[in-house]
């Protein structure tokens, strides 16, 4: 009876995830997970490189590179804050466009 996941199982799973998190939050969540995985992969690669370098040069002391992870932008706490931020960006773009028209 249980042959694993069938295609309709996956469809139901996707629908439940969309209903739980909302379609607007999913791209942001995927983007942040991707960035986190990229940073994690780079850090583990650095650790493996340091281990290999330590084995190759047992007499030399290997200085560890410390990388600073840039602080993540704080997400807006509510939809109103997001709308306000987007409106501000739109106003700035309109102002730049008006300046370009006046310069032409």
Distance of CA 54 to the CA centre of its chain: 32
Give the per-residue pLDDT at 82: 85
Give me the number of domains the chain comprises: 2
In a domain, 67, yes or no: no
Q: Is the pLDDT of residue 61 over 50?
A: no
CA angle 55, 60, 65 (to 5 degrees): 80
The token pair that represents 34 in the structure block: 């991707």
In a domain, 95, yes or no: yes
- Report field, pTM of the whole predicted structure over 0.75: no
Give the per-residue pLDDT at 69: 65
Give the per-residue pLDDT at 34: 92
* Domain range for 84: 76-104
Please, what is the average pLDDT of the chain? 78
Q: What is the Cα Rg of the chain in Å?
A: 24
Q: Kindly give, in sequence order, each residue whose CB lies less than 8 Å from that of residue 46, ignoring residues fewer than 6 positions away.
A: 65, 67
Q: How far apart are the C-alpha atoms of 44 and 48, rounded to whole Å?
A: 6
């Amino acid at each position: 009876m249980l042959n694993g996941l069938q295609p309709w199982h996956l469809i139901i799973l996707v629908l439940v995830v969309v209903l739980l998190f909302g379609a607007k939050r999913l791209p942001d969540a995927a983007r942040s997970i991707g960035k986190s995985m990229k940073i994690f992969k780079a850090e583990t690669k650095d650790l493996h490189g340091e281990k290999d370098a330590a084995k190759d040069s047992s007499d030399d002391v290997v200085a560890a590179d410390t990388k600073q992870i840039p602080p993540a932008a704080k997400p807006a706490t509510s939809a109103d804050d997001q709308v306000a931020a987007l409106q501000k960006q739109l106003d700035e773009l309109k102002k730049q466009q008006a300046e370009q028209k006046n310069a032409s």
